[in-house]
Amino acid sequence: MLCFVVGSTVSPFVAPLALLLSLAVGDWLARREGLRGRLRIVPSAIVLTVVALALYLASAFFDMSWDGLWYHQTAVYQMSHGWNPLRDPMHNLAPHLQDWLHHYAKGPWYVALALFQTTHHIEWAKAAREPTSALSTLAWSASAIFLSFFVFTQLSVMLCFVVGSTVSPFVAPLALLLSLAVGDWLARREGLRGRLRIVPSAIVLTVVALALYLASAFFDMSWDGLWYHQTAVYQMSHGWNPLRDPMHNLAPHLQDWLHHYAKGPWYVALALFQTTHHIEWAKAAPWMALAATFLAVFATSLDFGMRRRAAIVIAALVSLNPVVTCQLVSYLVDGLMVSFMACFVAALFRWFRRPSLLIHWVLMASAILCINAKLTGLVYLCFCCAAGGLYVLLKRRELLVRYVTIQAVSILLGAALFGFNPFVTNTVHRGNPFYPWLGSAAHPSFAQRGQDPNELYETPNNMKGRSRFVRFYYSIFSHPGPQTFYNGEPAQLMWPFNIGWKDFSVFRFHEVRISGFGPLFSGAFLISLCLMGVVLIRPGIPREIVVLLAGTIVASLLVSVHTWWARYGPQLWWLPIIAVIAGLAVPGWRAARWTAWGLAALLLINAVLVGAAHFRWEMEATRTTYEQMALLRQKGEVKINFQYFREPFGERLRAAGVTFRAVGKLPCDHPMELMSVVPGYPGTIHACFDESLEK
């Protein structure tokens, strides 16, 4: 517009300079929000990547739209040939164009003109939206590459253990290359040709680089991450072979967890650790799983005819589950499990609509990964399979044999081959594949021994001994809290939306117990129930599908008394999303659509604020850790009481160049508390300095 005001032609430097100015302004605003260090690079890297992809995709297609060819492109050409819409708004044009070019909004034309003047290609200037089928294939292919990487990495690590070899540093890179090759092959079978074949690989490589960078930028401060997840990775890197020696001698407080828990994420972390030699870099998997989930849900939404805006919103809602976002920079695996389960459900929907080899692979890979992320992954996956089977029996009986075969093979591979440890080894050594949460006569479970740690230490006092429904009521409609560790208070009921920032700040914890899906979730939950109830009485939507989906989620949450805790029942987050989709699908009812959009906005705001609160604390904690490490390096030999975190925190100190000696009891009266887990949890690490150095 300034060029038009002064009567000049639009310079080819307008778009590049505008981009540079935008990057500078964005960085300045980010620094005012407290973003420091290497993290300042991330927003600019994301923007530049998207801009490059947008220009590439725009150039890959011709604009075939009527209005685009009729007057949008004509407007850009007219302005590039000298028309100045500010000085000559009523310029003489062809009669059939005058009403549109004279009187329509011109913002997108200005942007397209600047890009056209820079690139000299009209197609580059349109930031083209490729055909929905091609876009869906791109998303499915990229998601398949991510899932393939996890599967091939786990399989390669297991092969190393089977032959008694150490895990090679080349396992992760070779698994990534093989995944890219398989993804490209599957994409070509789906009809992807030409330069578009580069896009899925480019997306994956960009996300992998960002995932490694973001993983390295934060320390894992989660209790379980430091206690046994990192310890498991270190133990395997030091020689423990969980396939040949599943009952390896370990510290007593670690044995139940390291011997009997699912090991899929540990195998991936081990491969990354052997490649990078940095334990924090090795926790990059959650970022890649989040990307895979977004892409799979986005692709499915497009395949079912959703507009792209709606597909993006639904994909963001599913992938930004608060359980996922609060565990992104930790070794916790609950977010991984629900991400893989979301990929499975998305692929299942697409399989019913239009099966293909690509979808078969995504379906099988996500099932294997879900089963091996957590013990409950197998349970929840069986509920998903059962729901799909019921749909086949009711609506698509011609698919029954094929469906049962695919699911049976997936579960068999996931539980018996990839899940040999723990499912087979638990059955052999403890008489139950789900030990220690379920037991046998010879080896009773935690509950049978009266030692259920979740009931004893994690459940608020006013929820202990209560029914599942009462526990869910408290967990959804109470103030967010990390009971019982933080302050020992019982769950405190609250009215929906009666919240403050303090309720969000609680989400510095990685596994908030009460109201673990965010302070706004209780209100969103009630709105979703009302919307779903009203929508079900209207014609035009598949009621049986909505009821089946909601019923499956509810049924899966009733398998344990502990699924009130968001991390143990993360699929509860999907219930309001089902209501959003149902509301958007109602034909000819604007009130339902607007309500659905409002509910989607509420859920997104809740997810973003929860993530912002958590990452604000993560940045402060990481900065404090670096400051403490710098101080400890100057103190000579430091005496440390590691509590439960000796191996992982000891390695963290060694990597920082700190000289230390582990002691059971500290000799000083006022030890320094080190940043280890979220303040308020028990078992924090303390240090004493040499008295002579302190003086």
Give the residue from 410, 327, 415 showing the smallest Cα distance to 378: 415
Residue 283 has pLDDT above 60, yes or no: yes
Summarised one tens digit per residue, pLDDT across range 319-375 is 999 999 999 999 999 999 999 999 999 999 999 998 999 999 999 999 999 999 999
Give this prediction's pTM: 0.83
Summarised one tens digit per residue, pLDDT across range 35-52 is 777 778 888 888 888 888
| CA 599 vs CA 254, 411, 584, 593: distances in Å | 43, 35, 11, 10
Confidence of residue 228 (pLDDT cuts 50, 70, 90): very high
Q: Which residue(s) pair with 639 in the sheet?
A: 661, 688
Summarised one tens digit per residue, pLDDT across range 459-499 is 888 898 899 999 999 999 998 987 666 555 688 889 999 88
Helix (H) or strand (E) holding 483: none
Q: Round the average pLDDT of the chain to a whole number and report it.
A: 91
Confidence of residue 433 (pLDDT cuts 50, 70, 90): very high
Residue 259 has pLDDT above 60, yes or no: yes
Residue 444 has pLDDT above 60, yes or no: yes
Residue 124 has pLDDT above 70, yes or no: no
Mean pLDDT of 289-311: 95
Cis peptide before 436 (omega within 30 of 0): yes
Cis peptide before 74 (omega within 30 of 0): no
Q: How far apart are CA 94 and CA 116, in angstroms?
A: 22
Which residues, in sequence order, are CB contacts of 124 under 8 Å at separation 6+? 55, 58, 59, 115, 116
Residue that has been written with the tokens 């989930």 in this structure: 293
Summarised one tens digit per residue, pLDDT across range 506-541 is 999 999 999 999 999 999 999 999 999 999 888 778
Confidence of residue 3 (pLDDT cuts 50, 70, 90): confident
Q: What is the pLDDT of residue 77?
A: 86
Summarised one tens digit per residue, pLDDT across range 160-207 is 999 999 999 999 999 999 999 999 999 999 988 888 899 999 999 999
Confidence of residue 94 (pLDDT cuts 50, 70, 90): confident
Give the residue from 534, 548, 529, 526 showing the smallest Cα distance to 592: 534
Mean pLDDT of 555-565: 95
Q: How far apart are CA 408 and CA 202, in angstroms?
A: 34
Query: How does strand 660-662 pair with strand 638-641?
Result: parallel
